[in-house]
Amino acid sequence: MDAELFPRARGEIAPGAVHVPDWLDARAQRGLLDACRDWARPPAGLRTVRTPGGGTMTARQVCLGRHWYPYGYARTVVDGDGAPVKPFPAWLGELGRRAVTNALGADAARGAAYDIALVNFYDGDARMGMHRDSDEKADAPVVSLSLGDTCVFRFGNTATRTRPWTDVELRSGDLFVFGGPSRLAYHGVPRVHAGTAPPELGLAGRLNITLRVGGP
């Protein structure tokens, strides 16, 4: 990837939805990966999410601040070991505000007090179907940070989970922010390219950290 002729350009994928390649440098990626490894440990660690229809999500998940389950938030892991959800660290909220400022400008970040993180781990054939992040009561932008393997991130529209959509390649260190008119757009991960993580990171698979504001 370092051998590319041109650096990848940032791009507005839809109004209010911006991709910033290589936003986290190698050191920041390592720091975030170390934190994810801590968060993944029990209690309230990495778990398989079961959907009401009896299925399971292939990406495993750990939450900070509030525990997400299909389809709501709780203070404890109500669909797992029952432990209190791990706290959301102040430094992660600061990172979220910096991300929004960088991607959408200072106005979009004003008053955005990030208090929830969903950390998704993709290994094997894991992927994520098209869905909306609609269980939050606040409309602050969603911040998405990627570590490890490259994936295809499918960013759709607010009306249906079908086309039109845009496929964006998210690599380790990339930032994607969606807010404003795109806050409730359908999105998903149809493919992860195994073995594409930067070797020096030391991660087999892909981690995605999404930061959200839960609201009252």
Ligand X SMILES: O=C(O)CCC(=O)C(=O)O
Residues within the interface to ligand X (CB under 6 A): 118, 120, 128, 133, 144, 153, 187, 189, 208, 210
The identity of residue 60, as a single letter, is R
- The secondary structure of residue 201, as a DSSP letter, is G
Dihedral sign for Cα atoms in the order 215, 178, 96, 69: positive
Nearest residue (CB) to ligand X, 28 versus 152: 152
Q: Mapping DSSP to helix (H, G, I), strand (E, B) and coil, where does residue 204 land?
A: coil
Burial (CB count <10 Å: 0-12, 13-18, 19+), residue 186 = buried
CB of 3 to ligand X, least distance (A): 25
| Location of structure tokens 């938030």 | 73
Nearest residue (CB) to ligand X, 37 versus 110: 37
Nearest residue (CB) to ligand X, 108 versus 210: 210
Nearest residue (CB) to ligand X, 104 versus 118: 118
CB of 96 to ligand X, least distance (A): 14
CB of 107 to ligand X, least distance (A): 24
Q: Are the CB atoms for 213 and 121 separated by under 8 Å?
A: no
CB of 175 to ligand X, least distance (A): 11
Q: Which residue in the shown chain puts its C-beta closest to ligand X?
A: 208
